[in-house]
Amino acid sequence: MTDLIDLTIHEASASLTQGEFSAEELVLAHIKSIETQRDLNMFITETPEVAIQGARESDLRRSKGMALGCMDGIPVAVKDLFCTKGILTTAGSRILSNFVPTYESTITEKMNNAGAVLLGKSNLDEFAMGSSTTTSFYGSTINPWRSKKRVDLVPGGSSGGSAAAVAAQAAMGALGTDTGGSIRQPASFCGVVGLKPTYGRCSRWGIVAFASSLDQAGPITRSVHDAAIFLSAIAGYDAKDSTSVPVDPLDFEQSLYSGIKGMKFGIPKEYIVENMPAEITKLWEKGITWLEDRGAECMEVSLPHTKYALPAYYIIAPAEASSNLARYDGVRYGIREKGDTLDEMYQLTRAKGFGDEVQRRILVGTYVLSAGYYDAYYVKAQKVRTLIAEDFVKAFKKVEAILTPTTPSAAFCAKEKCNDPISMYLNDVFTVPASLAGLPGISVPGALDYNGLPLGLQLIGKPFEEETLLKAAQALEEGANFGRSTPKGLEV
Partner 1 sequence: MSFDRKVVYNVANLARIRVAEENIDNLATELSAIIKWVEQLNEVDTYTVQAMNNVTNSTLPQRNDSVLDGGYPKDVLANAPESVDDYFTVPKVVE
Catalytic residues: 79, 158, 182
Nearest to 119 by CA among 5, 288, 11, 195: 5
Nearest to 229 by CA among 61, 116, 118: 116
Nearest to 424 by CA among 149, 126, 141, 156: 156
Nearer Cβ to partner 1 (23/424): 424
Nearest to 348 by CA among 367, 328, 368, 319: 328
φ and ψ at residue 149, rounded to 5 degrees: -80, 0
Sole binder of partner 1 in the list 379, 398, 481, 484 (CB under 8 A): 379
The DSSP string of 83-119 is: -BTTB---TT-GGGTT---SS--HHHHHHHHTT-EEE
340 interacts with partner 1 by CB under 8 A: yes
CB of 85 to partner 1, least distance (A): 10
Nearest to 167 by CA among 90, 115, 221: 221
What per-residue string of b and e applies to 12-21 under the rule 16 or more CB within 10 Å gives b? Answer: bbebbeeeeb
CA atoms in the 13 A half-sphere facing the CB of 270: 17
423 interacts with partner 1 by CB under 8 A: no
273 interacts with partner 1 by CB under 8 A: no
| Segment (H or E) for 421 | helix 421-425
CB 101 within 8 A of CB 85: yes
- DSSP assigned state of 198: P
Alpha helix positions (H), 197-341 = 224-234, 278-293, 309-324
Stretch that binds partner 1, among 71-79, 109-117, 236-244, 283-291 (CB under 8 A): 236-244
Nearest to 161 by CA among 135, 140, 145: 140
366 interacts with partner 1 by CB under 8 A: yes
Nearer Cβ to partner 1 (224/316): 316
Q: Apex CA 255: angle with CA 252 and CA 258, to 5°?
A: 150
CB of 382 to partner 1, least distance (A): 4
345 interacts with partner 1 by CB under 8 A: yes
- Site track for partner 1 across 205-224, x = CB under 8 A: --------x-----------
Sole binder of partner 1 in the list 69, 259, 277, 421 (CB under 8 A): 421
Look at residue 27 and give its three-state secondary structure.
Answer: helix
CB 128 within 8 A of CB 162: no
Stretch that binds partner 1, among 39-47, 98-106, 110-118, 160-168 (CB under 8 A): 98-106
CB of 103 to partner 1, least distance (A): 8
Sole binder of partner 1 in the list 71, 124, 163, 312 (CB under 8 A): 312
347 interacts with partner 1 by CB under 8 A: yes
336 interacts with partner 1 by CB under 8 A: yes
393 interacts with partner 1 by CB under 8 A: no
Q: How far apart are CA 365 and CA 340, in angstroms?
A: 27
Nearer Cβ to partner 1 (233/436): 436
Nearer Cβ to partner 1 (120/353): 353
Nearer Cβ to partner 1 (433/479): 433
384 interacts with partner 1 by CB under 8 A: yes
Stretch that binds partner 1, among 73-81, 176-184, 263-271, 307-315 (CB under 8 A): 307-315
CB of 427 to partner 1, least distance (A): 14
Nearer Cβ to partner 1 (145/377): 377
248 interacts with partner 1 by CB under 8 A: no
CB 245 within 8 A of CB 25: no
274 interacts with partner 1 by CB under 8 A: no
Nearer Cβ to partner 1 (272/342): 342
148 interacts with partner 1 by CB under 8 A: no
21 interacts with partner 1 by CB under 8 A: no
According to DSSP, the residues that pair with 87 across neighbouring strands are 84
Stretch that binds partner 1, among 51-59, 268-276, 278-286, 306-314 (CB under 8 A): 306-314
CA separation, residue 196 to residues 255, 288, 378, 443 (Å): 19, 22, 25, 9
Sole binder of partner 1 in the list 69, 311, 408, 452 (CB under 8 A): 311
Given the rule CB under 8 A, which residues bind partner 1? 98-103, 199-200, 213, 239, 242-243, 245, 305, 308, 311-312, 314-315, 322, 326, 329-336, 339-348, 350-351, 354, 359-360, 362-364, 366-368, 370, 373, 377, 379-387, 389, 421-422, 436-438, 463
